[in-house]
Chains A and B, each alone.
Chain A
Amino acid sequence: MKSIRSNLFNSTIGIKLPLCIAALILTTNCHAQSTSQIPSGIAWHGVLTDGLADAKATNRPIMLLSAAPQCAGVPGMW
């Protein structure tokens, strides 16, 4: 019984260990990829009159957002 359990344990580890290593490598690579190129984003009009003119010309609905480009007076952070 012991030898069967031991064999089962060993074979499980034998399968799991390479899988874990592969997963770790994949995760590391994915993380590197996500920071190695700029992801797609929303094309924001930053001027109200430009955005409104675009909406009028194309008859597309508007997603309007406003945010302050400073935090506690420090720039470079929304």
Chain B
Amino acid sequence: MDRSFLSNDQVIEASRNFVCIRLATYEDEAEAEFLRTVYVGRTGDLENTVFVLMTPDTKENLCRPGRSPNFAFRSPTSLATEMNKIAKQYKASETGSNPILPQLKDVRLGLNVSSCDGLPSVVCVADDDNPADFMHSLLAPMAYSKDLAGKFVYSTTSDSSMLESVKNYNGQPGILLIEPGEYGLDGQLVKFFSPSTKSEVLEKALTEYANASGKVSKNHSLHVRTGMREGKVWKTEIPIEDQGTLQAMQRTNRSSGRGAPGGRRPGGN
């Protein structure tokens, strides 16, 4: 993923007039099928990364699709300029009173992506008495607000046992602020908000936390080497297709004595 483009201030500012979708490659068959219609490599396989700008109905690409923004743009500034130009062509309606919470499809992925981004995770744990919709309606306006946009990674579960690896969490429904572990396989509960917490209280607490804690950055090669040595393994939901990635994984698996790379089928373990 090209961080120089996506962490650029001009691109971030331009993104406010776009709907930004970042999918996790190889984690959902239906999404993979959609991505294959956008861009595939020379072999016809879905590659690790995909990037494109599209019309709101997805019928037309608004730039050349590729593996990353630099397939179509020379610099972050040229991407931001083009985004601003495109945005002017659309009379966007306001998100309205019911914005959709930008979240991951489950907490397993949510914690991992949170760790990848070096950002804290906000997890809604819902049950019959405390529906997720209510918690989402509290969080969604904050997730797009000037002060909090892009500062937390959101996910939801109705099964608190999915968070057994989170230290200090007792399984109660509510909104959890979690610092992910180094590999996103576990985490630590930092703050717990009951489902009846008022939005002003929640917003104040999240703003204070964002202002007091930093974004974690990692050394790429050291992280991978250490992760392999410590047996930190991520099983993708569907098999990896990117040939370059597969070859690299086979090389590293041979040297670390790990088995062949594979994906888990939806519904599998």
Q: Does chain A bind chain B?
A: yes
| Chain A 39-69 per-residue mask, 1 if CB under 8 angstroms from chain B, else 0 | 1111111111011111111111111111111
Contact residues in B for A15 (Cβ distance below 8 Å):
none
Contact residues in A for B223 (Cβ distance below 8 Å):
71, 74, 76-77
Check B56–A55 contact: CB distance below 8 A: yes
Q: How many residues of A contact B (CB 8 A)?
A: 44
Stretch from B14-22, B122-130, B167-175 that touches the partner: B14-22
B149 interface contact, C-beta 8 A: yes
Check A65–B220 contact: CB distance below 8 A: no
Contact residues in B for A37 (Cβ distance below 8 Å):
210-214
Contact residues in A for B218 (Cβ distance below 8 Å):
76-77
Q: How many residues of B contact A (CB 8 A)?
A: 102
B21 in complex: contacting residue of A38, A44, A69, A78, CB < 8 Å: A44
Contact residues in B for A41 (Cβ distance below 8 Å):
7, 12, 117, 119, 149-151
Q: Chain A binding site: helix, strand, loop or mixed by DSSP?
A: mixed
Query: Which positions 193-216 of chain B face chain A at CB distance < 8 Å?
Result: 210-215
Check A44–B92 contact: CB distance below 8 A: no
Contact residues in A for B24 (Cβ distance below 8 Å):
46, 66-69
Which residues of B are at the interface with A, using a C-beta cutoff of 8 A?
1, 6-7, 9, 11-12, 15, 17-28, 30-31, 34-35, 38, 48-58, 62, 83, 86-87, 90-96, 99-105, 109-110, 112-113, 115-117, 119-120, 143-144, 146, 149-151, 153-155, 180-185, 210-215, 218, 220, 223-224, 227-228, 232-234, 236, 240, 242, 245, 248-249, 252-253, 258, 261
